[in-house]
Structure 1
């Protein structure tokens, strides 16, 4: 029994516009399955057997506040020239520079047109084969505690645990890393979160019960009767467990 990260779920007032931005940013495809939802995924992506993650942009009426998201994407580059070219291209697409207190760093912090922060990293050997998304990064207060929960929650391989960060990657050795970094506690509802999917043959209800036993809590965001289950981890990070059908 295990779960796999499958989606980075992003809330937006204009899901179509934000979805198009991210598709052009990543070189992926856009598809709209239903009003108010725009999927952004690489060609051939199978969400029932994910070897990486894709994006799902969901419409909400509330705009983002000035508070930094607790979850953001780091984008990979292959050279200093590639980093500069990517930053310039993203600014042409509507991205804006933002100051989240990063100071003098070799990466560039930007935000999409609705203020969702992301980073364009300088070239790093560890991310040479991740594809356009180097890492899904989550702010947390205690990386070691997050490692204890998430390492049992998902079927990815834990690569590193320190007082400052916990790092996973798919056990298939492909796609982005998942990194919990020591930053701080939760202050507003999560505008970006992870969605998980059970392995083939695993029972969703049993997986949700397993997560509750690990310390997950139930979350009511007004979702009503839906086929997915909304939960929070022990630090309050929101996530959903999807049904495979």
Structure 2
């Protein structure tokens, strides 16, 4: 693999507070710089970056947490509410068994019911569910060398060869994009890799290079085929 998914970064008015919420909910360690170190089943971190931009629409990516039993689902919901989350009505039907919540800054996430077959082979953080086209699922599969594990009815999903969370795209129609997504992927190139070559490879897959990005000189901002921002981090990383 020539490029890695280093972190899913989340814009926040209170990065430290939101990091504490997700550390408590996921059971991940909170490191310096408002980063959460993943558990053994997950290959990427969560990063929380300061932003004063108001949230005015559903996020392009939201998290799905899994449950082994109905009791565990209720325990996860109770823990989220205790940490500062809240229930969220997004038009879910009464017969749907997943529970939709929002974190303290309104970011949507779902606690999935026990017995969900699609997430049976994942971690507690089971899925990053994304609004996006089939083509963008193909792009990310090739970009990070994760195999497609679902490709049906315009829906796609990829998963690391070692397992862990799936990253999925729901197919069209895709909702109008925010001026800047609140969640974006940060990628890293191994120390012996060639950053410029990786940028050109991603452009060859359909990505575009953007003029500027939130993270400044230590990142190369880019966008995927649907226009969703991501960054290649160029500073030294653990």
The alignment's TM-score, normalised by the length of structure 1, stands at 0.87
The Cα shift of 1:93 comes to: 1.0
Which sections of structure 1, spanning at least 5 residues, go unmatched?
none
The Cα shift of 1:235 comes to: 0.8
2:218, 2:235 within 8 Å by CA — same for their partners in 1?
no
Aligned residues: 232
Which sections of structure 2, spanning at least 5 residues, go unmatched?
none
Among candidates 75, 83, 88, match of residue 98 of structure 1? 88
**Alpha-carbon separation, structure 1, partners of 2:196 and 2:54:** 33
1:70, 1:186 within 8 Å by CA — same for their partners in 2?
no
Q: Secondary structure at 2:170's aligned position in 1?
A: strand
- Look up the match of 1:190: 181
1:222–1:196 distance in 2 versus 1, CA, 3 Å: closer
The Cα shift of 1:132 comes to: 2.0
The Cα shift of 1:51 comes to: 5.8
- Look up the match of 1:18: 18
Q: Secondary structure at 1:226's aligned position in 2?
A: helix
1:4, 1:156 within 8 Å by CA — same for their partners in 2?
no
- Deviations 1:140-175 (CA, angstroms, capped at 9, x unpaired): 1x22x1233222211111112123311111012x22
1:225–1:11 distance in 2 versus 1, CA, 3 Å: closer
The Cα shift of 1:99 comes to: 1.9
1:186, 1:236 within 8 Å by CA — same for their partners in 2?
no
The alignment's TM-score, normalised by the length of structure 2, stands at 0.89
**Alpha-carbon separation, structure 2, partners of 1:52 and 1:233:** 21
**Alpha-carbon separation, structure 1, partners of 2:216 and 2:82:** 41
**Alpha-carbon separation, structure 2, partners of 1:166 and 1:158:** 7
- Look up the match of 2:113: 122
Among candidates 24, 31, 55, match of residue 46 of structure 2? 55
1:11, 1:57 within 8 Å by CA — same for their partners in 2?
yes
1:42, 1:54 within 8 Å by CA — same for their partners in 2?
yes
Q: Secondary structure at 1:212's aligned position in 2?
A: helix
1:129–1:27 distance in 2 versus 1, CA, 3 Å: farther
- Look up the match of 1:86: 76
Q: Secondary structure at 1:230's aligned position in 2?
A: strand
- Look up the match of 2:35: 39
**Alpha-carbon separation, structure 1, partners of 2:170 and 2:18:** 26
**Alpha-carbon separation, structure 1, partners of 2:103 and 2:230:** 22
1:6–1:79 distance in 2 versus 1, CA, 3 Å: same
Q: Secondary structure at 2:11's aligned position in 1?
A: strand
1:16–1:85 distance in 2 versus 1, CA, 3 Å: same
2:59, 2:107 within 8 Å by CA — same for their partners in 1?
yes
* 4+ residue runs over 4 A deviation: none
